[in-house]
Amino acid sequence: MIKKNNKRAFTMIELLAVIVVLTVILVIAVPRILGAVEASDKESFRITGENLVKEALNQHIQEGMNGEKHYIIEDGVFAGDSLNVNGMLPDNGEIFIDEEGKLALSISNEKWCAKKNIFSEEIIVNGDIFDCELDTSIPSTC
């Protein structure tokens, strides 16, 4: 009697085809996922800057807006005067408020630099952590 082999299996070509399809999907998906994670991380750092700005202005108003105020962040903690903020602080930074309540901000971590000029409302985040200096200068006009 002849025994019939009923085992069904994938051929080598079918397995290679599946591997090729999965590789193509990964090549397309991974950069998009990493880009989304990067954008989220950048936006989170910008929001940290916004929260520091809001708290610094609130505290300045509560203290009667008396003169200039300077906050320094070193190694993730405030050096000297501090602000009551939740969450992690950036690694380093400065917050400056002038007599009129105008605020400049410069904060950085190992990846991002966030800056706000004293005459701007916008916080700009970029990857240039080596040029993350506080800018309190008056902008030039055309």
pLDDT at 39: 93
Asked if pLDDT for residue 142 goes beyond 50, the answer is no
Distance CA 77, CA 32 (A): 34
**Which residues on neighbouring strands pair with residue 104, listed in sequence order?**
96
Predicted pLDDT of residue 129: 78
Per-range mean pLDDT, top range of 2-11, 40-49, 121-130: 40-49
Residue 59 corresponds to which tokens in the numbers above? 């505290």
As a whole number of angstroms, the distance between CA 61 and CA 111 comes to 32
Residue 122 to residues 104, 118, 138: CA-CA distances in angstroms?
10, 10, 16
Alpha carbons 7 and 30: distance in angstroms, whole number: 37
- Predicted TM-score (pTM) of the model is 0.76
